[in-house]
Amino acid sequence: MTSISRPEIVELLKLRGKEQREFHKRASAIRKDNITDKVYLRGLIEFSNICANDCLYCGIRKSNINIRRYGLSPDEILASADEAAEAGLTSILLQSGERRDRDFTSHLSYSLKLIKHKHPRMNITLSVGEQERGIYEEFYEQGATRYLLRIETSSESHYRKLHPEPMSFSRRVQCLNDLRDIGFQVGTGVMVNSPYQTLANLADDILFFTTLDIDMCGMGPYIPHSDTPLSGIEYLSEESLNLGLNMIAVLRTVMPDINIASTTALETLSPGGRELGLLAGANVIMPQFSPFASRTDYALYDNKPQGVRECRDFVNSVKERIEELGLVPATEDPGISMHFLRRVKDDSSR
């Protein structure tokens, strides 16, 4: 890990134009030197938009009555996993709104069991929010090995402005620690350029990731959703894109061997935004594998792209684009976080 100060990060985040492009090139070279030029593809299955939380920025928040709620059955989740496997992918991400009721968690455990039974080599990442430690253990036993839980912001006072009671910052951190303890590859991330956020907050976010010693990161620019309480706040999309890309490049510089996703939110702000993320040092892309009909209902923010109906076609076009960038699409390689492999080796030799 490279050490860096908060003011140094703030200066890097401010870079624009030619200096910014050069910075991204350096970050991209750091990726190549540390973890090769491979780009891993994860099939993203957004299996339910039912959510018990009321995050003030999010379109699928509990209080939004203007969206159609859906939840895929275990068989439907399996069918999406089948599609990902048929497209040659060896890794999927199951994401949903947050629910802690037993119906939900047992459905998910059963879905994991079905997937692992049919596709024993499939690597499964979960992103289903805060759960009890025992439930995380159950998911791990059923074959999920990676977990993504965004902290959203590393400042407790900023967290309070984005999340109503009873959500709590310390509970989220506790969950991240539990996940790591259980043996998951742990990912977190923040929304970039969210309301009330400062550059100093973003710099602290990077330092938070290093302190937590994360294995993976999924960060994306905040994009307003018109049915949320924060939608009226002034929003500059170009600033969001630039900061989103610079955050990737800074993180790659300080944590050279972690997996960093180039997210859909970048693509929403600018066509080709996801590719810019790769050029800034990201090494993971997550093509959509949810059933086409439910994609518009997983509306985290306005104008979220629905993707291409034929997942396989989309995978092929993504692969082509990656090659055009001079990078290597790696579908068969499960893309375990190099940082995780090194950290586990270090722990066992102690």
Is residue 187 a contact residue for ligand SAH (CB under 6 A)?
no
For residues 17-56, b (16+ Cβ closer than 10 Å) or e, as one string?
eeebeebbeebbebbeeebebbbbbbbbbbbbbebebbbb
Q: In the bound complex, what is the minimum distance in angstroms from residue 194's beta carbon to ligand SAH?
A: 8
Q: Where are the alpha helices (DSSP H) in 193-232?
A: 199-212
Is residue 97 a contact residue for ligand SAH (CB under 6 A)?
yes
Give the residue, chosen from 39, 115, 126, 223, that forms a contact with ligand SAH under the rule CB under 6 A.
223
Comparing CB distances to ligand SAH, the nearer of 23 and 147 is: 147
Give the residue from 240, 63, 235 showing the smallest Cα distance to 164.
Answer: 63
Q: In the bound complex, what is the minimum distance in angstroms from residue 222's beta carbon to ligand SAH?
A: 4
Q: In the bound complex, what is the minimum distance in angstroms from residue 2's beta carbon to ligand SAH?
A: 26
Rounded CA-CA distance 118/109 in Å is 14
Interacting positions 228-287 with ligand SAH (CB under 6 A): 265
Is residue 95 a contact residue for ligand SAH (CB under 6 A)?
yes
Q: In the bound complex, what is the minimum distance in angstroms from residue 110's beta carbon to ligand SAH?
A: 19
The 3-class secondary structure across 94-153, one letter per residue, is: EEECCCCCHHHHHHHHHHHHHHHHHCCCCEEEEECCCCCHHHHHHHHHCCEEEEECCCEC
Is residue 195 a contact residue for ligand SAH (CB under 6 A)?
no
Helix axes 199-212, 237-254, angle to 10 degrees: 30
Q: Which stretch binds ligand SAH (CB under 6 A): 12-20, 72-80, 219-227, 309-317?
A: 219-227
Give the residue, chosen from 48, 127, 185, 331, that forms a contact with ligand SAH under the rule CB under 6 A.
127
Rounded CA-CA distance 236/143 in Å is 41
The torsion angles phi and psi of 28, rounded to 5 degrees, stand at -65, -40
Structure tokens at 135: 């439930």
Rounded CA-CA distance 77/84 in Å is 11
Is residue 186 a contact residue for ligand SAH (CB under 6 A)?
no
Give the residue, chosen from 23, 208, 222, 289, that forms a contact with ligand SAH under the rule CB under 6 A.
222
Interacting positions 28-67 with ligand SAH (CB under 6 A): 57-58
Q: In the bound complex, what is the minimum distance in angstroms from residue 318's beta carbon to ligand SAH?
A: 20
Give the residue, chosen from 149, 217, 258, 269, that forms a contact with ligand SAH under the rule CB under 6 A.
149
Query: Rule CB under 6 A: which residues touch ligand SAH?
Result: 57-58, 95, 97-98, 127-129, 149-150, 152, 191, 220, 222-223, 225, 265, 300-301
